[in-house]
Amino acid sequence: MYSLNAYRGMQFYGVLLLLPAAILLITFAYLPTANTLINSLYIPSFRGEPRTFVGLENYQDLLSDTTFWQVARNNFLYALGTIPTSIALALGMALLVNARLPGRGMVRMAYFTPTILPMIAAANIWMFFYAPQIGLFNKLLSIVGISGINWLGDPNVALSSVIVMSVWKEAGFFMIFYLAALQSMAPELKEAADLEGTSRWSFFWRVTFPLLMPTTLFVLINALINAVRVVDHLFILTKGGPNNATNLLLYYVYENAFSFFDRTYAATITVVILLVLALVATLKFTVLDRRTHYQ
């Protein structure tokens, strides 16, 4: 695997080249992570007294914190609602805009625009759709006689509304990866299939889809990470409400740290998120490494 070590005699160079990255990663990734772990074992200082070591007590609190379980469940449903839909839409859009058609560049750009928009701006715009009185959705529905769905205020609907907006925002990003993969596929495959009279349907399922498998895995991992990483839209749309119905893990961390001023509890939840991500990373290194035989 490492047959490329052309510059054996020049250890000094290698270390020097690695130094900037090493310093940055230690200061801004490892130190903070270690701090999080340590903090999660304490409870915060109170009236100037030093903080107290409590061992795993924060973790016990976490297990009996019903809000935490609700937030974790929300995050799971959020992942389940956004990931398969975004990926399917992304693949569909990529296939559509990969075909020969007039104004193809413009259409591609249009499909990509929601991704370019900052999450905060996108959420802002969607307020025009979701707002209960003046929102466009309710205006449209009132034409057919349905009235007063509270898209972001009804605990039964709010999470779905957030999911729809996220899918709108994210699908275009994944489309680009599929598009890139489709463009690197050999055109001879399609020609051969046409000669043999293969239908579009079986060409897709037997040739295109399997060949896109590495891309699908790559996109899947990224979508999983995004599902715990991105919470900007909650600041605008729901602030985690109503009654925590749309609260997600990272937003709950933020609330604990900056609204409830309980940084050590925030650290405890962070450790849980890191464990989830470690699980995703394991998936990445085991499944993604096995995909090589596709190429």
Please identify, using beta-carbon distances, which residue of 33 and 156 lies nearer to another protein. 33
What minimum distance in Å lies between the beta carbon of 36 and another protein?
5
| H or E element, residue 53 | strand 52-53
Per CB under 8 A, 187 contacts another protein = no
Longest dimension (CA), the chain: 80
Please identify, using beta-carbon distances, which residue of 30 and 69 lies nearer to another protein. 30
Per CB under 8 A, 61 contacts another protein = no
Find residue 43's DSSP bridge partners. 52
Residues 6+ apart with CB under 8 A from 221: 280, 283, 284, 288
Residue 208 has which token pair? 């295109």
Residues 6+ apart with CB under 8 A from 127: 135, 236, 237
CB contact at 8 A, 244 and 71: yes
Name the H helices within 31-65.
Answer: 31-39, 57-63
Per CB under 8 A, 11 contacts another protein = yes
Per CB under 8 A, 140 contacts another protein = no
Per CB under 8 A, 43 contacts another protein = no
Please identify, using beta-carbon distances, which residue of 156 and 289 lies nearer to another protein. 289
Quick one: which segment of 59-67, 73-81, 148-156, 173-181 binds another protein (CB under 8 A)? 173-181
Please identify, using beta-carbon distances, which residue of 156 and 292 lies nearer to another protein. 292
Q: Return the residue of 96, 149, 207, 211 that touches another protein, per CB under 8 A.
A: 96
Beta strand pairing call for 42-43 and 52-53: antiparallel
- Using CB under 8 A as the binding rule, the residues of this chain from 268 to 287 that contact another protein are 270, 273-274, 277-278, 280-281, 284
Per CB under 8 A, 76 contacts another protein = no
Per CB under 8 A, 56 contacts another protein = no
Per CB under 8 A, 189 contacts another protein = no
- Using CB under 8 A as the binding rule, the residues of this chain from 202 to 221 that contact another protein are 214-215, 218
Please identify, using beta-carbon distances, which residue of 21 and 144 lies nearer to another protein. 21
What minimum distance in Å lies between the beta carbon of 25 and another protein?
5
- Using CB under 8 A as the binding rule, the residues of this chain from 98 to 137 that contact another protein are 99, 101, 105, 107, 109-122, 124-129, 133-136
- Using CB under 8 A as the binding rule, the residues of this chain from 17 to 36 that contact another protein are 17-18, 20-22, 24-25, 27-33, 35-36
Per CB under 8 A, 197 contacts another protein = yes
- Kindly state the number of chain residues that form the binding site for another protein, as judged by CB under 8 A: 102
CB contact at 8 A, 7 and 13: yes
Q: Burial, 57: exposed, middle or buried (Cβ in 10 Å; 0-12, 13-18, 19+)?
A: middle
For residues 241 and 255, give the distance between their C-alpha atoms in angstroms, rounded to a whole number: 12
